[in-house]
Amino acid sequence: MSDEATTDEEEPGLTYADSGVDIDASEAATAALIDAVGDSEGDYAGLLDIGDRYLALATDGVGTKLLVAEALGDYSTIGIDCIAMNVNDLVAAGVRPVAFVDYLAVDEPDEGFAEQVGEGLAAGAERADIELVGGETAVMPEVIRGLDLAGTCAGLAAKDAVFEGGAEPGDALVGWPSSGIHSNGLTLAREAVTRNHEYTDPCPFGDYETVGEALLEPTRIYTGLLDPMRDHGVRGAAHVTGGGWTNLERLGENRYVIEDPYEPQPVFEFVRTEGNVPAEEMHRTFNMGTGFVAAIDSDAADALADETEGRVIGHVEEGEGVAIRGLDLRA
């Protein structure tokens, strides 16, 4: 068979929109909701002035990672993801997470499944050093097919401790590695992987037994970075989740030049090749190996990186967008 014939038969490259998630439409819907209810102070978390401190709230869920867990019958780690997605947003705001409530919606009750979810939530809370203070389990067979898991995390911060300044040209960017895909972009990842594989297929990379197990790797929790970031004068931080590397633009209207990012874990190359996903789409959707980034004065960057096992991955300059691996990304 000729190379030309092989190319003609290749499946087209996947995008997030192709897999069912249109980021532009989602952002427009979110903007409409904010316009209707009114904007609040804060970015990654809503900040409520309670006198000498801020009470902060963040809410998030696990998304379609739940479908991988359902396919494998393994819900033991999705509670960790639920905790992580919320506490990491608070840390990006400069807020210390303190308490968490979960919301679990199912089509029918299942004791074994609920126990696994609860164990994951407990493990995540221990890693994040927060308290589980309540939650809700809703059985709604007419509304839910399968399950949904989300939560809300409360945090506290002195008013001068939150990261409100944003990045400035000349700042360094310090980054910390992710554990894998984390809990966003799973709709695209699942669509790509299931073109040629089942979740139960043997995993061709790493120490994972199955492809699904690689997708279920729990989200890394970054609460341990909070005190060092404050001590070293971090101006702003970004949790690299939905939108991938364009999250850095939330640090201010600058150009973010990434010169030494962490190497993506093998799961990202697996998703890219299985779905023929363009490089730009990968970086606009996934963390690609780097899960958290902070902007800091260049003179303090090495000290922060050394103390926290991070590394300087780039710098901030005048302009716009994110430059990484030859790509020019815009939100």
Q: What is the DSSP letter of 170?
A: T
Q: What percent of the chain has pLDDT over 90?
A: 83
Please report the pLDDT score of residue 40 as a whole number: 47
pLDDT in tens, 279-320: 999 999 999 999 999 999 999 999 999 999 999 999 999 999
Please report the pLDDT score of residue 66 as a whole number: 97
Nearest to 281 by CA among 20, 12, 15: 15
Q: At what angle do helices 186-193 and 65-72 cross, to 10 degrees?
A: 50
Instruction: Supply 280's token pair.
Output: 């730009």
Taking residues 3-20, what's their average pLDDT? Answer: 57
More confident residue, 60 or 42: 60
Is the pLDDT confidence value at 5 over 70?
A: no
Give 140's strand partners.
Answer: none
More confident residue, 2 or 292: 292
Q: Which residue has the tokens 């199955």?
A: 210
Q: Which residue has the tokens 């929790």?
A: 221
Taking residues 91-119, what's their average pLDDT? Answer: 96
Q: Which residue has the tokens 């999705």?
A: 78
Q: Please report, for residues 27, 47, 263, the alpha-carbon distance to residue 15 in angstroms, rounded to integers and kept in the order given.
A: 17, 34, 22
Q: Please report, for residues 81, 113, 122, 183, 292, the alpha-carbon distance to residue 119 in angstroms, rounded to integers and kept in the order given.
A: 12, 10, 5, 18, 26
pLDDT in tens, 204-259: 999 999 999 999 999 999 999 999 999 999 999 999 999 999 999 999 999 999 99
pTM comes to 0.88
Taking residues 118-129, what's their average pLDDT? Answer: 98
Q: Please report, for residues 13, 192, 280, 326, the alpha-carbon distance to residue 16 in angstroms, rounded to integers and kept in the order given.
A: 10, 10, 11, 21
Q: Computed from CA positions of residues 173, 176, 181, 184, in that sequence, does the dihedral angle turn out positive or negative?
A: negative
Please report the pLDDT score of residue 2 as a whole number: 37
pLDDT in tens, 55-102: 999 999 999 999 999 999 999 999 999 999 999 999 999 999 999 999
Please report the pLDDT score of residue 250 as a whole number: 95
Q: What is the DSSP letter of 66?
A: H
- 12: confidence class by pLDDT, cuts 50, 70, 90: low
Q: Which residue has the tokens 């992710």?
A: 178
Helix (H) or strand (E) holding 68: helix 65-72
Q: Please report, for residues 59, 103, 202, the alpha-carbon distance to residue 62 in angstroms, rounded to integers and kept in the order given.
A: 11, 11, 24
First to last CA, the chain: 41
Is the pLDDT confidence value at 29 over 60?
A: no
Rg, Å, the chain Cα set: 20
More confident residue, 331 or 19: 331
| Secondary structure (DSSP) of 241-260 | -TTGGGGGGGG-SSEEEESS
